[in-house]
């Protein structure tokens, strides 16, 4: 998926228009454009890896945004280090990206309160494995005082498993919400 394409289901908008809401499709398209532009500019390069983020899916629904992307791989400059070091750097970068993308979503979509995020990584078998997921809320300001990146991500609503500071694949039953997010 390029940064210029997005998935727009129209069912949620029909319900909002019939209920008299002020949200219009053109406004949402502008919000999507603003979000994708911010991602492209602000998250072009990571601090620990220079690879770009690769969006997989972005959907604007009536009550939430859903965003999936491929985590940045470990940096080529880490190739001479021990393999675990490169994986740790990539894992830390993924958590930083998750927190930053969450922030950009709520900056771009001022009326939404919920976002569902999934982050995948390429695995050796040319498959993608989910490593981070989360139903995040707008009013989660309690994490600002936390210095630990993994604790900050957990408080914001991200779910993941770390072993020796390396993100592990999440079990298959952790997936997208069915129906509404509670």
What would the pLDDT profile of 91-136 be if each residue is shown by its tens digit? Answer: 999 999 999 999 889 988 888 899 999 999 988 787 899 999 999 9
Query: Token match 């830390």: residue?
Result: 92
Taking only the tens place, the pLDDT of each residue in 46-105 is 676 777 888 899 888 878 899 999 998 887 777 778 878 888 988 999 999 999 999 889
Please provide the average confidence, as pLDDT, over all residues in the chain.
Answer: 79
Angle at 149 between CA 145 and CA 153, to 5 degrees: 85
Tokens of 60: 């604007």
Q: Where are the beta strands (DSSP E) in 14-99?
A: 54-60, 65-70
| DSSP letter (8 states) at residue 19 | T
Query: For residue 32, is it left (φ>0), alpha (ψ between -120 and 50) or beta?
Result: alpha
User: Looking at residue 177, what is its pLDDT?
Assistant: 53
Whether the predicted pLDDT of 161 surpasses 90: yes
pLDDT of 142 reads 66
């Amino acid at each position: 998926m390029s940064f210029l394409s997005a998935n727009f289901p129209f069912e949620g908008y029909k319900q909002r228009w019939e209920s008299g809401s002020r949200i219009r499709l053109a406004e949402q398209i502008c919000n999507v454009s603003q979000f994708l532009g911010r991602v492209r500019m602000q998250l072009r390069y990571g601090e620990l890896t220079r690879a770009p983020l690769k969006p997989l899916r972005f959907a604007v629904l009536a009550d939430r945004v859903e965003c999936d992307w491929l985590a940045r791989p470990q940096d080529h400059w880490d190739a001479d280090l021990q393999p675990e070091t490169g994986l740790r750097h990539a894992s830390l970068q993924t958590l930083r990206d998750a927190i930053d993308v969450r922030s950009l979503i709520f900056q771009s979509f001022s009326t939404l309160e919920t976002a569902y995020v999934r982050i995948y990584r390429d695995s050796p078998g040319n498959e993608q494995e989910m490593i981070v997921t989360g139903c995040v809320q707008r009013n989660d300001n309690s994490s600002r005082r936390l210095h630990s990146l993994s604790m900050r991500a957990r408080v914001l609503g991200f779910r993941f498993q770390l072993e020796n500071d390396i993100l592990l694949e999440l079990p298959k039953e952790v997936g997208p919400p069915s129906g509404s997010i509670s």
